[in-house]
A and B are shown apart, each in its own frame.
Chain A
Amino acid sequence: MEKNSPKAWLYLLPAILFLGVFLVYPLIDVLVYSFEESFNFASQTSAGIGFYNYEYVLRDPFFLQAIKNTFILVLITVPISTGLGLLISLALNAIKPLRRAFQTVFFLPYVTNTLAVGMVFMIIFDKTEYSAGLMNTVLSVFGMTPVDFIDGPYWAKMLVLSVYTVWVVLPFKILILTSALASVRKDYYDAARIDGTSRGRMFRKITLPMISPMIFYLVITGFIGAFKAYSDAVALFGTNLNSQEMNTIVGYIYDMLYGEGGGYPSYASAAAIILFLIILTVTSVNLLVSRQKVHY
């Protein structure tokens, strides 16, 4: 390679320009916004610097509700989707005929529009004019009393949101885990089989350690993704999530910014920084745990 070609900067100019304006500058700006008290959007002035925006957000019942919802969603969906993903991938890995067909079908939710398919989930769970809806009809066969899943009790709504979230995130997990399982070398299993090792022991002593880095990667991305949940909730319950008690942290940020309750970029910024800190903390804890648990 040539020692120095300043022309490289010309090639990099568009990327640097766009990243600077739409990624680096906003990053600094959002911090500034979050500390500027009673910022006025029209006159672009503020009353001073301080923690008031954070105090306001942390005392806002809508924000606390959003935090609660998001944490519940994370705690339900991350373990279930990772476990289910592992189970399905193991099954996929153990069969030969039809494997490609199953893989294709399982990946389908990844390419669908979250809003569009979310509405299908909504009508599956929702009641209609003269019936309790498809899901309730099915459940009544098992003797359950109908529940209003879309407009009813908190836990029913949370259940629908969790089911839909798991449905949406599984394709990615199945894809990653099947390729991880396929890359475990066959000689390990052959050696274990010669020693007469049982299936369960082979899974615990060979498979799990070999794919643990990938499981761990999925747990981290799963946590991050679930903390940023938003459009799934909109698809199921509509844009007015606060009144439905179903808002998420990201939803709170956007509602503060724009829409009926919007026009408060300072509060939105404070909430965004809080979200970022939560994700940062959880990811760091994950990394610390993985140091002890993951075999590389």
Chain B
Amino acid sequence: MNNLKNQTDFDALARRENVKKALLNVLLYSLLCIWALIVLFPFYWMIITALKSNAEYLTETVPTPYPLRLTLENFGIAFTPTEQVNLALAFLNTFLFTVFTTAIMLAVIVPAAFAFSRLNFRGKNILFTFFLALMMIPTELVVITNFITVTNLELRNTLLGLILPSVTSVFYIYLLKENFSQIPDELYWAAKVDGTRDFKYMMRVMLPICKPTVVTITILKVIECWNSYVWPRLIVDDADHLLLSVAIQNLRESGAGRGNVPAMMAAVVLVSLPLIVLFLVFKDRIMEGVSRGGTKG
């Protein structure tokens, strides 16, 4: 009898513990769901607004959370070139800018990281420390002179003027150098014995081994290029050479966007889409790369 009573006590205890756990879980999941809704809602609103007709958007007295009549006409309107904005060209420009900047950057930082990790030369440590110190310089400080330099070189409104200042990143050199340094020396000497030249060793051995880091750097740079706003705005004022961020800002401030919010949202959807797809494909790489040293906010 006594034994049985003890048993029920344990059951009650266990039940109470379970209830407490369940309550905590409800609390945790509701908090996470609320935040997930806050994160996702702007995307939802962007899409449904892009699918409303302008007439519907303008005449609603209460904002409806879904379009009464689905329409794709806004995408056509967004792409219609005006004097201030040519969205199709902006896509092309941004694509070229992203591809060239990323490619040139890799061509600049890979040899530099190789030199710091594998080769020995006088002043190496001093130079590397100096490079690290450069990481602390905020872009805002150097933009002014770069603006004047590019203007004096008459590179305004050109792809080259857009690309040149952003093809080096000390941080990525550092990241790649750390990765290169992990490759055992024996591999290098073995290659040397076989008569492999440094350049070939870098291209054929080091790069493939460090491919994950290279991919991460490439994706982070692509995101940065696709979203860049300040420099393109300073350097480009000709409608045919705009990059996307500036183009949608112009769209918003010119009559077309102000008067037609759904068309503006259609443009916003198309600008956001490529990066969201890129993120969903490479999400582990991106999140890992950012946690190793991305900064934003």
Contacts and interface: CB of A to CB of B under 8 A. Distances in A.
Q: Do A and B bind each other?
A: yes
Interface of A: 1-9, 11-12, 14-15, 18-19, 21-27, 29-30, 33, 41, 81, 87-88, 91-92, 94-95, 98, 102-117, 119-121, 123-124, 128-131, 133-134, 137, 165, 167-170, 172-173, 175-176, 179, 221-222, 224-226, 228, 230-231, 234-235, 238-239, 250, 253-254, 257-258, 265, 268-269, 272-273, 275-276, 279
A231 B283 contact: no
Interface of B: 24-25, 28-29, 31-32, 35-36, 38-40, 42-43, 45-46, 49, 57-63, 107-109, 111-112, 114-116, 118-122, 124, 127, 131, 134, 137-138, 140-149, 164-165, 167-168, 170, 173, 185, 198, 223, 226-227, 229-230, 233-234, 244-245, 248-249, 252-253, 261, 264-265, 268, 271-272, 275-276, 278-280, 283, 286-287, 290-291, 294-297
A257 B165 contact: no
B45 A123 contact: yes
Nearest to B119: A8
Given A92-B32, A117-B268, A172-B296, A228 B62 contact: no
A234 B145 CA distance: 23
A184 to B, nearest CB: 16
A143 B170 CA distance: 53
Given A1-B119, A116-B248, 13 more contacts: A6-B121, A8-B121, A14-B108, A18-B164, A24-B134, A105-B40, A113-B244, A116-B245, A124-B42, A134-B63, A137-B63, A225-B295, A276-B138
A167 B275 CA distance: 18
Contacts of B297: 81, 165, 168-170, 172-173, 221-222, 225-226
Contact of A131 (B62, B234, B278): B62
A14 B296 contact: no
Contacts of A107: 279, 283, 286-287
Given A26-B146, A26-B149, A108-B39, A120 B46 contact: yes
A15 B252 CA distance: 38
Contacts of B296: 110, 168-169, 172, 225
A14 B60 contact: no
A113 B246 CA distance: 11
Chief secondary structure at chain A's binding surface: helix
Task: Please name the 3 residue pairs, one residue from A and one from B, whose CB atoms are nearest each other, closest first.
Answer: A169-B297, A26-B145, A26-B142
A2 B119 contact: yes
B119 A5 contact: yes
B32 A88 contact: yes
B163 to A, nearest CB: 11
Given A12-B112, A119-B264, A272 B144 contact: yes
A113 B60 contact: no
Contacts of A109: 39
Contacts of B168: 15, 18-19, 22-23
Contacts of A94: 24, 28
B200 to A, nearest CB: 13
Contact of A113 (B24, B28, B245): B245
B252 A172 contact: no
